[in-house]
Amino acid sequence: MSRRNRFSRNSGEQQEPGNREAGGSQDNGRPERLREGVITLKLGGRNPFKAFNSYLITGQKHILVDPGPPGTAGELLQQLSRNRVSLGDIGLIVITHGHPDHFGSAYQLKEWTQSPLAVHELDSEYVHWGTAPTLKPVTRLGSIMKPFSKLKAEAVEPDITLQDGDRLGRYAGRGRVILTPGHTAGSISILLPDGTCIIGDLLMGGLRASTPSYPRFAENLSEVRESVQRIVDAGATTLLAAHGGPFAVIDLPRAFPWLRVDVDALREREASERKEQERMAAERSEREREASARPAQTTAEEPRVNAEHSAPAQNGAGTRTEQTGDEDRPRRSRPRRRRPPRRRGGQGDQPQQGGSDA
């Protein structure tokens, strides 16, 4: 399989305004929710052992992260429809690692969207052949679930092989790829400018979805710890996992005492982001008030404008006010002359012409 990115752009090509990583969000005419953010697409229903989170990074062209287990393509399509996202709006599909529960529906989604498929080069062979690496349980729940975790996925050819540090803005949306091995050798996380980080199975929900835990299976648990520390040091504030979550980084030391987190810096950042959100909300509400007041003002002025510029209006029976001459002077309209009705009958009924012959 070729290691070249068949869908990559030239390095000198200018990016579209909506795909830039730095700077403020660009207004591309989409609603606020779809212009910048991450939409969670929940699959598998309420069963905690089958529940799966797929994510959509929104932008001018959206990025679909982990389409989900085999047989969930139709459910994913319903989730996209509920969020008013069409298949043509998706510009890239990213697989965080080579486990079938993450790329099992990739073949169908790739066919439907006609979008390139991206995966890290160390896990690309599993996606290419539709196989999975050996599952090594590291938690008690993983040991219990291993016999039930054998899924068969349809093979799909990756179009883009990702590397650590790649910017997804080259293809669609935004986000930076961070190699986070441990669960698998080619596991990646996607860090967004606002501190949101999609981590795949780097961490999972425990018995409760909101409680962070180690992944049920991992090739190297020490690498999992190093990878979690790496994304925290890179500026992640919220972790979006495929199973459970989301997890706030500021709360992670309760579950992982070994994790080094700058709590003061995170609180400062949260406070500044809260102020920025409040400022944007105030500006948005002000614009909405101005927009709602504008039609009322126009409606109040319309009768006066129409009275000045409309055609002469009829006043009473047979009178009108004309725009030319004295506008305030009522003028009587000329009555229409009517012809007398024509009499019908024989010749004796016709009036005689001239004098008598007698």
Taking only the tens place, the pLDDT of each residue in 54-72 is 999 998 899 999 999 998 9
Average pLDDT along the chain:
78
In angstroms and rounded to an integer, the radius of gyration of the C-alpha atoms of the chain is 36
- For the cut 80, the answer to whether the pLDDT of residue 350 exceeds it is no
Cα distance between residue 18 and residue 61, in whole Å: 9
Bridge partners (DSSP) of residue 119 are 161
pLDDT score of 299:
52
Residue in 247, 259, 239 with CA at minimum distance from that of residue 211? 247
Whether 278 is in a domain gets the answer yes
Is residue 178 within 8 A of residue 168, CB to CB? The reply is no
How many domains does the chain divide into?
2
Note whether 204 and 274 are same-domain residues: no
Cα distance between residue 269 and residue 148, in whole Å: 42
Cα distance between residue 66 and residue 93, in whole Å: 7
Question: What DSSP state is assigned to residue 31?
Answer: -
Residue in 251, 271, 246 with CA at minimum distance from that of residue 261? 251
Whether 307 is in a domain gets the answer no
pLDDT in tens, 175-200: 999 999 999 999 999 999 999 999 99
Which of 159-168, 249-258, 265-274 is least confident? Answer: 265-274
Whether 134 is in a domain gets the answer yes
Contacts of 97 (CB under 8 A, 6+ apart): 119, 120, 123, 183, 184, 186, 187, 188, 200, 201
What's the CATH code of the domain at 39? 3.60.15.10
Whether 2 is in a domain gets the answer no
Note whether 274 and 134 are same-domain residues: no
Task: Among 71-80, 125-134, 323-332, name the most confident range.
Answer: 71-80
Residue in 125, 265, 252, 245 with CA at minimum distance from that of residue 184? 125
Note whether 101 and 149 are same-domain residues: yes
Is residue 177 within 8 A of residue 190, CB to CB? The reply is yes
Note whether 244 and 272 are same-domain residues: no
- For the cut 80, the answer to whether the pLDDT of residue 52 exceeds it is yes
Contacts of 139 (CB under 8 A, 6+ apart): 213, 214, 215, 216
pTM above 0.75, yes or no: no
| Domain end among 279, 294, 309 | 294
Note whether 198 and 277 are same-domain residues: no
Is residue 59 within 8 A of residue 172, CB to CB? The reply is yes
Whether 183 is in a domain gets the answer yes
Beta strands in 38-128 (DSSP E): 38-43, 52-57, 62-65, 90-94, 117-120
pLDDT score of 17:
34
Note whether 208 and 288 are same-domain residues: no
Note whether 165 and 115 are same-domain residues: yes
Note whether 287 and 199 are same-domain residues: no
pLDDT confidence of 317, banded at 50, 70, 90?
Answer: very low
Whether 107 is in a domain gets the answer yes
pLDDT in tens, 197-234: 999 999 998 878 888 999 988 999 999 999 999 999 99
Note whether 160 and 280 are same-domain residues: no
Q: Is 188 exposed, middle or buried (0-12, 13-18, 19+ CB in 10 A)?
A: buried
Note whether 134 and 167 are same-domain residues: yes
pLDDT score of 322:
47
Region 158-181 average pLDDT: 92
Note whether 48 and 150 are same-domain residues: yes
| Domain end among 243, 261, 279 | 261
Note whether 197 and 275 are same-domain residues: no
pLDDT confidence of 31, banded at 50, 70, 90?
Answer: very low
Is residue 7 within 8 A of residue 171, CB to CB? The reply is yes
* Residue 121 burial (CB count, 10 A): 15
Please indicate whether residue 320 or residue 23 has the higher confidence score (pLDDT): 320
Region 139-168 average pLDDT: 83
pLDDT score of 12:
37
pLDDT confidence of 355, banded at 50, 70, 90?
Answer: very low
| Domain end among 278, 294, 310 | 294
- For the cut 90, the answer to whether the pLDDT of residue 15 exceeds it is no
Residue in 120, 118, 123 with CA at minimum distance from that of residue 98? 123
Whether 75 is in a domain gets the answer yes
pLDDT score of 83:
93
pLDDT score of 64:
95
pLDDT score of 172:
85
pLDDT in tens, 88-106: 999 999 999 999 999 999 9
- Expressed as residue numbers, the domain containing 272 is 263-294
In the numeric block, which tokens belong to residue 163?
């590397």
pLDDT score of 265:
80
Cα distance between residue 257 and residue 255, in whole Å: 6
